[in-house]
Amino acid sequence: MRQNKVLGITGKMGSGKSTISSILAQNYGFKVIDVDKEYHILLEENKELKKKLTDVFGKEILVSGKIDRNKLRTLVTADRSRFEILNKITHAFIFERVSYLVLEVLKGCHTVIDAALLFEIGLHKLCSVVWFVEAEEDVLVERIIKRNGWSEKEIKSFLERQKILESYKNLANRVIVNNFDIEELKSVIRKYLKEDGLI
């Protein structure tokens, strides 16, 4: 299942995965699979997933007949067991969707899989190389506030749950510490792409 020239990028929210993916797309022509966006598409369009989630979490997660991501997030943030149930339901759908994109739609292309939960979902099985991206916590919080507009309490709670990601760091081929400026980041990316045989 492991595909040649498929790079997995993982790390906590706000670490800079999307920034690296954008650089890879713009400067090196990589196709980017943003797993968060694919998940949102599934929530909006996949009737089987919608049914499973409403069966488990109730119709209060619906607004105008569609799953409201904010309501779903609020519901699972309050209760860890609900969060685990959500992951159990959604990960199979996400894996199937991303596998289809890698193996069928983008077959033979240089591809990036951008996913915080790369290892949990099992998407690393599709990758020839995995990079783990990290940054200091105050940098993460600042980036998430700027991008998502969440409260600091929400962010801290979310990052606390993402601590498990640190245990996957040793499984990655590279660890990129993304506290530095964009030009330095670009030169690190170029160096690692060459060393990993991706360009």
Asked whether residue 181 is assigned to any structural domain, the reply reads: yes
Q: Distances from the Cα of 85 to the Cαs of 57, 69, 81, 152, in angstroms?
A: 10, 15, 6, 25
For residue range 39-61, list pLDDT tens digits in order: 999 999 999 999 999 999 999 99
What is the pTM for the complete model shown? 0.88
On the question of pLDDT at 2 being above 90, the answer is no
Asked whether residue 191 is assigned to any structural domain, the reply reads: yes
Q: Are 135 and 14 in contact (CB under 8 A)?
A: yes
| Residue 25 Ramachandran class (φ > 0 left, ψ -120 to 50 alpha, else beta) | alpha
Q: Which two tokens stand for residue 41?
A: 């598409």
Asked whether residue 31 is assigned to any structural domain, the reply reads: yes
Asked whether residue 77 is assigned to any structural domain, the reply reads: yes
pLDDT at 192: 96
For residue range 8-27, list pLDDT tens digits in order: 999 988 788 999 999 999 99
Residue 92 belongs to a domain with what CATH number? 3.40.50.300
| Dist. CA 131–CA 171, nearest whole Å | 9
- Total domains in the chain come to 1
Asked whether residue 131 is assigned to any structural domain, the reply reads: yes
Domain range holding 24?
Answer: 6-195
Asked whether residue 117 is assigned to any structural domain, the reply reads: yes
pLDDT at 1: 65
Asked whether residue 1 is assigned to any structural domain, the reply reads: no
For residue range 68-81, list pLDDT tens digits in order: 988 998 888 778 88
